Amino acid sequence: MRKNGRDRERRPGRRRARRTAVTCMTVCFLLACGGRAYARDSPPGETPGREKEERIRLYSEAADSPQEAGMLPEIYEDWDGRSWRLISEEMSELPVTGRRREVAGEVTYAAVTADQEIPQTARMQIADEESGRTVTAELPLDRTEWLNERWESGYSFTVTFHEYGSDRYRIGETTIAHEEERPPLAECEAQLLRETGLSDKDLQIETYDWAGAAYRDENGVLCRDALVTAARRVRDCRAVYRGEADLPDYTRYRRRGEYEPVLEESVSAAASPTAAAPAAATPAEALPVPPPEQAAGEGTGLERWIYRAVTVTVSLLLLAAAAAGFRQLRRRILRDKKGTVDGDPGDGI
């Protein structure tokens, strides 16, 4: 009676071990053999060999106008050797916005004197090759380069002599002796330049003469003007302006085509001499775009390889688990047999 009691106690453990082993084997079989076959099953009423809602998209080269957009091929063959048929196409717009980049330009200022300043900003015309447009941008001064220093004649200015007709003339705070025929400036050229805010390093007086008759100013003082001509020291300045500019928005166009798989009989018919030859697609016009949703196990070559690797790995792990279950079951059976052989025969009476 005790022996039978032990057997009844061990039976549930054996049954659990057997169920575990059978479950592991079933799962391994389904993953290794049935996964891809299930993904390719066709629902009732569908043509075998064609996956439901399996599509890919191809795009042509983008162009500046719809008329210039490239054409899509009627039949496209992917890297895996599968053929696809064009079922619909439409023209799509590609807005190009928010562009900003660094631009630069230069301006040459000719005959710049020492007292002149170079502008700190400049409005530049920027040609945008991508959009084919021209945009105006105000750029800050980046650097300057001075060239071609020289003396240039032709500069003139007026000097007013106060108290004309007296023994001495007055120019600002300076007084000089009277001279009727010609303004007496030979003795005070440097002082005259200082009075006018100029320097003898940047200006050389060449001639001077009376400019018109004498007159009285608003205070009744007799005055007379003299015209002075001089040469100035000048240089050319090459100024470079640089900064960021907002580029204009524009739109490009391309064709978008929807493709479906071609059945083997359709491919054979298309390859026959009586079938019309489809236009060959150039690599630039047929850029494959993965479909948004694919059946399990489908996709690019890399995706299928990853799927197979994961399937094999999981299968091996489950096989190892099944083997461990079988070993555990075998050990229990051996322990049960050993316990039966070693047990006291009198226990069963």
pLDDT of 178-231, one tens digit each? 777 777 676 677 777 776 677 788 888 888 888 888 899 998 988 888 888 889
**% of the chain beyond a pLDDT of 70:** 65
- Residue 269 carries which DSSP code? H
Reduce the DSSP state of residue 190 to 3 states and report it: helix
* pLDDT for res 324: 79
Q: Where are the beta strands (DSSP E) in 44-167?
A: 56-59, 75-77, 83-96, 100-112, 121-128, 133-162
CA dihedral sign of residues 138, 140, 142, 146: positive
Please give the residue range of the domain that contains residue 338. 2-37+303-348
Same domain, residue pair 282 and 325: no
Contact yes or no for 69/255 (Cβ under 8 A) = yes
* pLDDT for res 122: 96
pTM for this prediction = 0.48
Same domain, residue pair 227 and 137: yes
* pLDDT for res 123: 95
* pLDDT for res 11: 56
Q: With a cut of 50, which residues of the chain have pLDDT below it?
A: 1-3, 6, 33-52, 271, 273-299, 344-349
- Residue 201 carries which DSSP code? T
Same domain, residue pair 61 and 46: yes
Distance CA 156, CA 154 (A): 6
- Count up the domains in the chain and report the number: 3
Same domain, residue pair 242 and 329: no
Same domain, residue pair 84 and 48: yes
Same domain, residue pair 322 and 283: no
Same domain, residue pair 238 and 105: yes
Same domain, residue pair 186 and 222: yes
CA 108 to chain centre: 34
Same domain, residue pair 166 and 210: yes
* pLDDT for res 164: 78
CA dihedral sign of residues 62, 65, 68, 74: positive
Same domain, residue pair 127 and 149: yes
Contact yes or no for 183/161 (Cβ under 8 A) = yes
Same domain, residue pair 132 and 241: yes
Same domain, residue pair 92 and 187: no
The single-letter code of the amino acid at 95 is: P
